[in-house]
Chains A and B, each alone.
Chain A
Amino acid sequence: MEFIQDLLIMDGQGKYVWFVLLVFLIVIFLNFYLPYRTIRKIQEENSQSSEE
């Protein structure tokens, strides 16, 4: 428990380190999600047009 607390706080410097990690994870997620959404959209449009 103490280890986790130390890891989160890092003598008051944790906010800088965790903020950077959060930014990194958000940017990576967006770069994964946006092309994935494009592929899904094309697939959905195709299945709609083939149903019509």
Chain B
Amino acid sequence: MGSPPFFFEWASRLLPWLFPISFLILMIGLVWGIGFAPSDYKQGDVYRIIFVHVPSAILGQSIYLMMAIFGSICLIWRAKLAGMFLRSAAPLGASFTLIALISGAVWGKPTWGTWWVWDARLTSTLILFFLYVGIIGLYSSIDNKQRGDRAASLISVVGVIIVPIIKKSVDWWQTLHQPSTFSLTSSPSMTADMYLPLLICVIGFYFIFVSLLCNSLRAEILTRERNTGWVRKYLNNKASG
């Protein structure tokens, strides 16, 4: 599984199934949440932003956690695929964190009366976004791929401290942001007809992430290994149809 040719073939076979399944799950969650879930008695319909905001925020943090794990693997065992994972996952993590920040700002305007406040949850999420941007920037500025992998691994391992800070920020500091929507230790604070579509959206977002990651990793593997025999053979087979 750790070998790029094996992963490439495995991902190429999986993707034609994974994308449609991901979109189906996502569509069910979003249509249910935005079209049919009841309105919130306090916020009205604007709360429906939750069906994009919460899954994006969860993914933004989860991807960073995964990057820290793969970063450690890259630093300890110098696994090639782990470095490629970091390179491919960083733009996705930045994208989901950016969606969480934008959707949070748009949600904040009608409910808090402002697009942005420098509160603990928002500021720590902004730092997470900057960490992603830093890793992407590192890859762009370092020509040597292996050195780029090691530098990115180091940032992802050191920067992972931000994830528990984001998670606990609503408990440790007084913030405008509401407490966590998902908790392993307590029952949901919303009714089932709001909670279930949200849960489906979270699952759909994870599926979309895996699909996009496989797609992105295929591009990264082809870019890095384009001079190897197996890639030339693959490309020649593609060209001959």
Contact = CB atoms under 8 A, between A and B. Distances in A.
Interface of A: 7, 10-11, 13-14, 16-17, 19-21, 23-24, 27-28, 30-32, 35-36, 38-39, 42-43, 46-47, 50
B219 A35 contact: yes
Contacts, number: 90
30 contacts: A13-B44, A14-B45, A16-B46, A16-B49, A16-B107, A16-B109, A17-B34, A17-B45, A20-B49, A20-B99, A21-B30, A23-B99, A23-B102, A24-B103, A27-B95, A28-B95, A31-B91, A31-B212, A32-B212, A35-B212, A35-B219, A38-B219, A39-B218, A39-B219, A42-B219, A42-B235, A43-B238, A46-B235, A47-B239, A50-B236
Contacts of A10: 44-46, 48
B contact patch SS: helix
Contacts of B106: 16, 19-20
A contact patch SS: helix
A39 B53 CA distance: 31
